[in-house]
Structure 1
Amino acid sequence: MHSFSDDRKHSEVEYVNYVDESGSDLPKFSDKLPTSGEIEARIEELAEIHQVNRRKLQWKMDLMIIPSICLLYVLAYLDRINMGNANVYGLAKDLNLHGNQYNVALTVFFVPYCIFEVPSNILLKRLSPHIWLPCCVIGFGAVALSQGFVKNYGGLLATRFLLGLLETGMLPGCTYLILSWYTRDEAQKRYSFFFGSTCLAGAFGGLIAYGVHQWDGAHGLRSWQWLFILEGAITMFCGICFFFIIADFPETARFISDNERAFIKAKLSLDQGDSRHEDSSLKNYLKPFKDPKIILSGFVYFGLIIGAYGYTYFAPAIIKTFKYSDVKTQVYSIFPWIATFGVSMILSFVSDWTRMRFPFMALMIFVGITGFAMLLGFEPDQVNARYAACFLICMGMYAALPLSITWFTLNVAGHYRKAVLSGWMIGFGNIGGIPSTFLFETKDAPKYVRGVATCLAMTGWSFLVGLLYFFILYKANRQKRSGKADAKWDSMTDEQKKLAGDLNPSFIYSY
């Protein structure tokens, strides 16, 4: 998480308070950012003013917000990645798929998924989370269920496209909801747990796939069909429940009192600034792209996504090359995900405690690289070593991803810069899902040299770009602490300062 310099002249902040339409006392700052200690002290004052018990309110928020969005995203991820488990049970054979048609079906998902993230967030804001998100969940649950009844390649393509369209708002919508309730310091632990929960989807997918094997042939349906039907039905049922449990934005949420609502609004304004008077023109959204840090974040995420989805979609196929039965393949696919969830949670707490992200992200990237290298180096009959490589790949990729997202998110400030970062990083990064679906083809079994080597190279690429990002932050922090950035800041107009966000000399980047 980022911290603010406590020992330089920019830590002196003038508080200018104003009263909003509801009568709440909201803080507003001059062009110098406050230190983290000053923010915490002021939040304590706000809690006293609004007569709010911060600890009780935090527990209430965590209970009402985090579990539901974690479950929501687990369901979305589960319905997205179950193709690998279904293919073990004969999906491609039963639908008479030839050549790379199975890979194309995987790819189609990412086309609408990468395009419609921003429109989805607009609808989220207009319709409210407890309406829009459950509607999406019920929708992609119904599509996932319908995959159990497709009869040919065209039907599979149509359902995969609709699945990507309806899932497009899940990740940006949930992250947007977290930012709408928590300050930056509060949000980091919630981000870590939210992104780490995706590991459970892989474990549940293998467990459900193992369970439906006994239904093979029941009512004339194959195991892979029952897999889609069951997971889709579970998703639809949870979607209906989400209408009653998904939290709205603080302005309209029912589970908080009016004084708690006013406190949250004041606290967020203090931490994130007030941007209501900013000009919402296109040029203001384009300016952040001049910052190489913004661009590099998308490149890092892109490389990690290729390795992550490469493993996710084809891990069952890799494990099946160990000469396991279909059922045993599903069982053995569960354990790397369970281990990954534990590692991801441990690293989230350690990185929060140390207030550092890059060292742990780099460590897990090297773990993933080691796993890919082991798959390349060991022969197909060296089953134990290759299965150990699956653990390393899964842990490396899916522990590095949440660390990278949290690192990039906490190193940006300002309304426009945050909007551009999240849209660019997630939108561009997920394009990596497209090439990842073509890396592992049946003709390359059992070693899948081309796919594994590409994943290894792109994971290494992410490390190198992340290292460049780190040195850019290091150089920027040195300039800010030495005062060299002051001249450029002083030459800015008031409008430019208002849009500068983390470019403010008082904002110290985290590592």
Structure 2
Amino acid sequence: MSSHEKHDVETSSGHDIAPATSTASNGLALKPTALERERAEQLARLPDPDAGKSPEERAEIDRKLMWKVDLWLIPWLSLLYLLSFLDRTNIGNARLAGMENDLHMFGTDYNLSLTIFFISYALFEPLTNTLLKRLTPRIFFTGIIVAWGIIMTLMGLCHNFAGLLAARFFLGIAEAGLFPGVNYYLSCWYKGSELGARSAIFFSAAALAGSFGGLLAAAISKMDKIGGVAGWQWIFIIEGLATVFVGLFCWWMVFDWPETARFLSEDDKIRLQRRIIQDRQGHAATDFDKKYIYEALKDWKTYGYMVIYMGCLCPLYAFSLFLPTIIAAIGYSGTTAQLLTVPPYAVAALATVTVGFIADRTRWRGYCNIAVVLVGIVGFSMLLGSGDPHVQYAGTFLGAFGIYPTISNSLSWASNNIEGSLKRAVAIGMIVGWGNLNGVVSSNIYISTQKPRYLTGHGVVLAYQVLFLLGGTIFMHFALKAENKKRLSGARDNMNDGLTDEQKLVRGDNRPDFIYTT
């Protein structure tokens, strides 16, 4: 088995794995399934460094191992995503610092500069996990981060609107690989039941980027005219150079797979590989096997999660790109407006991590989405229905709370229920790509002529949350519960009758013994 195949293991399910052998109702052992044979073969290739230890001793060793992995992976990856989100959304802060006047932008020019980013971002995002697996994570992450840092820096040297559009287009291409790439990368290190909390911490960096971006922009904009460079240009230049600096360190901070991690002992490398193999509910997909791609395309769950995720992403980008504009419309300007963008994001970051831990512990991903989005619906109803600045500002807090936790929770939910690493990579690519394509909608709903109420913008966000996020979540929750009921009752036991072992393996989560997370 190659190093790459070793890590193409299924970590999607948080449910307990099947025992090494199956047992019939009369107590007699049944012939091991193809899955059980495959798992046993893979484990046999790896020695057990903890042979003879008690379950309590093994649990303590495992706890210390994962703490070590957490400390190395999560802070660094979160920093990368903070920079990513900061670099794509700081254009809102630059707008407050006078970018439109200097670049002679009028009417919907600002909206177009946002739209062009999402076109390239959404088109290239589904392709990036394939590139990551071919190049290895170290080369891939270092390359894309240095590339977008350079583009960000050059954006600060733009002297006209056309230059800004070109920079935003290439920024979308360079940034497209980070979010899906990190989600796949984490699945090579963690069990499915551990992904939600880690993804939530990672994604909370997006909210922190909003807070940090407002503080940083308030400080950098004070450099206006230093060296003959405008304050908004310094925002792009300094944040771009910081990204390049951090990106270069990826070569030493990112390890391709657990067996190449220098921060782990040889025994810990083996432990990590064994725990991932043991977590699998299903077959490890063969790289680039078209059968698994077709399975992702045919799976109704892929399209269900695409609907949910578009309900997450349109509100996310509308909020992050236009919060400075909304704050300015309420009646604040300059440094005060920049600083007032910070507290809503801080609330969003805390909510994201909290909901991530709750969802991992309870496995109630559908219920968590429903509870969170209801808060967001209240927040945007306040923004839509009131002209009172205090009510509107309070609405931004509830709006942020109702948006950010649903991103990581929805993707973890999809990962839990889509089995087979290649099928999951394709499905997640489709889900995330479609979600980000809705950034085009987000970019064009806050119309400058509707200042200060922005009724179209708030109304569209509210509709996305009610129809797609809430409606899609309710549908998926009850559809999966109904399917689980059929499988547990034995009504699906014959669903794979007549299929060969290989055909059954390709079916992935479409097996009668796979129980969905609801």
**TM-score, length-normalised on structure 1?**
0.90
- The 5 A counterparts of 1:10-25 are 14=32, 15-16=36-37, 23-24=45-46
Give the number of aligned pairs.
493
Mapped to 1, the partners of 2:44 and 2:473 lie a distance apart of 44
User: Shift in Å at residue 124 of structure 1?
Assistant: 2.2
Residue 125 of structure 1 corresponds to which residue in structure 2?
Answer: 133
Equivalence for 1:258? 266
2:441 to 420, 426, 435: 435
- How has the CA–CA distance of structure 1 residues 412 and 284 changed in structure 2, closer, same or farther, with 3 Å as cutoff? closer
Matched, 1:370 2:378: yes
1:29-75 CA distance string (max 9 Å, x none): xxxxxxxxxxxx99988x97xx9932232122112211111111111
Change (3 A) 1:481 1:273: closer
Contact conserved, 2:285 with 2:292, CA < 8 A, in 1? no
| Correspondent of 2:514 among 504, 507, 511 | 507
One of 494, 511, 514 as aligned partner of 1:487: 494
Q: 2:479 aligns with which of 472, 476, 480?
A: 472
Q: Is the 8 A contact 2:193 2:360 kept in 1?
A: no
Q: Bigger shift: 500-509 or 140-149?
A: 500-509
**Offset of residue 267 of structure 1:** 2.5
Counterpart check, 1:222 vs 2:230: yes
Q: CA deviation at 1:197?
A: 2.2
CA contact (8 A) 1:307 1:436 kept: yes
Paired with 1:387 and 1:270, the residues of 2 have a C-alpha distance of 49
3-state SS in 1 of match to 2:256: coil
SS of the residue corresponding to residue 107 of structure 2 reads coil
**8 Å contact from structure 1 (residues 85, 206) kept in 2:** yes
Structure 2 SS opposite 1:197: helix
Pick aligned residue for 1:161 from 148, 151, 169:
169
Return the alpha-carbon distance in structure 1 between the equivalents of residues 192 and 378 of structure 2: 33
Equivalents in 1 of 2:500, 2:103: separation in Å? Answer: 63
Partner of 1:323: 331
Which residue in 2 is equivalent to 1:38?
Answer: none
The residue correspondences of 1:195-274 to structure 2 (distance < 5 A) are 195-272=203-280
Whether 1:403 aligns to 2:400 is no
Question: Could you tell me which residue of structure 1 aligns to residue 455 of structure 2?
Answer: 449
Matched residues in 2 for 1:4 and 1:276: separation? Answer: 17
**Residue number in structure 2 paired with 1:313:** 321
Counterpart pick for 2:194 among 162, 182, 186? 186
- Give 1:441's aligned amino acid: I
Tell me if structure 1 keeps the 8 A contact 2:152–2:167: yes
- Matched residue type, 1:413: E
In 2, Cα distance between equivalents of 1:273 and 1:509: 11
Shift of 1:177: 1.1
- Superposed displacement of residue 459, structure 1: 0.9
* TM-aligned CA distance change 1:5 to 1:252, over 3 Å: closer
Calculate the aligned-residue CA RMSD, in Å.
2.8
- Aligned partner of 1:37 in structure 2 is none
Per the TM alignment, residue 10 of structure 1 is displaced from its structure 2 partner at its CA by 8.6
Could you tell me which residue of structure 1 aligns to residue 122 of structure 2? 114
Could you list the structure 1 runs, at least 4 aligned residues long, displaced by more than 3 angstroms after superposition. 4-23, 41-45, 273-281
Say which SS state the counterpart of residue 260 (structure 2) adopts.
Answer: coil
Runs of 5+ unmatched residues, structure 1: 27-40
Q: Is the 8 A contact 1:199 1:341 kept in 2?
A: yes
Give 1:150's aligned amino acid: C
- Gapped regions of structure 2 (runs ≥ 5): 1-12
Paired residue for 2:88, among 63, 80, 85?
80
**Contact 1:362/1:400 (8 A) holds in 2:** no
Note if 1:391 corresponds to 2:397: yes
SS in 2 for 1:488: coil
1:102 aligns with 2:110: yes
Residues 460, 423 of structure 1: alpha-carbon distance in 2 compared, 3 angstrom cutoff: same
Identical amino acids, percent of aligned pairs: 34
For the Cα contact (< 8 Å) 1:4–1:507, is it kept in 2? no
**What does the per-residue CA deviation read over 1:374-433, in whole Å, with 9 as the maximum and x for residues that have no partner?**
111112xx1110000111111111122222112221122223431232111111111111
Matches within 5 A, 1:275-354: 275=283, 278=286, 280-354=288-362
Q: Distance in 2 between matches of 1:10 and 1:432?
A: 50
- In structure 2, distance between residues paired with 1:305 and 1:421: 17
